[in-house]
Copies of this chain bind each other. A is one copy, B any other.
């Protein structure tokens, strides 16, 4: 794309941002301040760019949101699709979905955080919430199938169980940090332990 050459700036020789870098900073800022509360001017200021330079990379603020949400949702949906593609008991599929979802969450922490804080204030947001709802329904169906197999207890409603499990998973965005001392793979294991076997010790 064209370089803005008409402006005299002090950032001579400084490499510009590419699309992905702008997106990453934008999502970070959205998570810090909230999407609505973040103006394009805020983002430009954080990047050290002008607004017009930003619009070289993206056509609108909402496009940044849409791309980030696509990253989060397609990651979660891919986990579910992979689990449903293999021939296996529902309870094994459910295990794969749970640990896979934790993996997406830790790998794509910022986009998933953005997704989980949506309130449905625009068409893009409601569309994303609808995709979450479909995802939830598919997982609920999986829980119900595992109940029919006798591998998931039936004294908890499948819908409630699904919401509780994903409540546990999703809450990880509130405290997990990639540079922290919790390993993402061990975290997925811990979530499986608590969700499936519970905190009480099992006598073997």
* Chain B residues positioned under 8 Å from A37 (CB to CB): 34, 36-37
B36–A199 CB distance below 8 A: no
* Copies per complex of this chain: 2
Q: From A151, which residue of chain B is reached at the shortest CB distance?
A: B200
Q: From A202, which residue of chain B is reached at the shortest CB distance?
A: B202
Asked if A7 is at the interface of the complex by the 8 Å CB criterion, the answer is no
* Chain B residues positioned under 8 Å from A201 (CB to CB): 150-153
Mostly, the A contact residues are helix
Using known A-B contacts A167-B168, A172-B167, determine if residue A195 contacts B190 with beta carbons closer than 8 Å: no
A164–B172 alpha-carbon span in the complex (Å): 7
* Chain B residues positioned under 8 Å from A174 (CB to CB): 163, 167
A197–B171 alpha-carbon span in the complex (Å): 20
A199–B156 CB distance below 8 A: yes
A122–B37 alpha-carbon span in the complex (Å): 15
A167–B176 alpha-carbon span in the complex (Å): 12
Asked if A135 is at the interface of the complex by the 8 Å CB criterion, the answer is no
A194–B192 alpha-carbon span in the complex (Å): 11
Interface string of A163-182 (1 = CB under 8 A from B): 11111111110110000001
B164–A190 CB distance below 8 A: yes
A204–B198 alpha-carbon span in the complex (Å): 15
Instruction: Tell which of B32, B165, B200 touches A197, judged by Cβ atoms closer than 8 Å.
Output: B200
Interface string of A89-108 (1 = CB under 8 A from B): 00000000000000000000
A37–B153 alpha-carbon span in the complex (Å): 43
A151–B197 alpha-carbon span in the complex (Å): 14
**Chain B min CB distance to A126 (Å):** 15
Chain A residues near B (Cβ < 8 Å): 32, 34, 36-37, 119, 143, 150-153, 155-157, 160-161, 163-172, 174-175, 182, 187, 190-191, 193-202
Sample 7 A-B pairs with CB under 8 A, ordered by A number. A34-B37, A34-B119, A37-B37, A157-B190, A161-B190, A193-B198, A196-B200
